[in-house]
Amino acid sequence: MKAIYIGPADLSLALGCTPKFDQEEKPVVEAIERVVSRAKEKGKWVGVHNATVAYARRMTDLGADFVSVGSDLRLMIAGAAAVVSEFRESEAGNDASGGY
């Protein structure tokens, strides 16, 4: 089975809109809706790249068969930032000095 994968930022550029994920600009939203609808009519699977889980859920509600949220780099950065933040918070309550 063949599938279509929508990259909203690329689609936005092609339509003369601001390139971004979780797109709200009317021409892009309408194009995504049209692509999903036509693909489903033809029995094709549709995927959409998203920035947030909320928007990904919106795309599955629209009929997307698969979604991606973020990218490997963005997820690794977010995970690393969470670890550093947690370490700093735990360190603030610790009187011990030293470490790295």
The residues, any chain, with a CB within 8 Å of residue 70's CB and separated by 6 or more, are: 50, 51, 78
Return the percentage of the chain with pLDDT > 90, whole number.
76
Count of the separate structural domains present in the chain: 1
In a domain, 99, yes or no: no
Q: Can you give the pLDDT at residue 71?
A: 80
Where is pLDDT greater, at 71 or 44?
44
Tell whether 100 is covered by a domain.
no
Rounded Cα distance, 44 and 63, in Å: 11
Tell me: the pLDDT tens digits for 58-67? 999 999 999 9
Q: Which residue range is the domain that position 75 belongs to?
A: 3-92
Task: Give the integer Cα–Cα distance in Å for 15 and 35.
Answer: 14
For the whole prediction, is pTM greater than 0.85? no
Tens-digit pLDDT profile for residues 31-40: 999 999 999 9
Closest CA to 31 of 19, 47, 14: 14
* pLDDT confidence of residue 75: 83
Helices (H), 1-100: 8-14, 26-41, 53-62, 72-92
| Of residues 5, 88, 91, the one with CA closest to residue 45 | 5
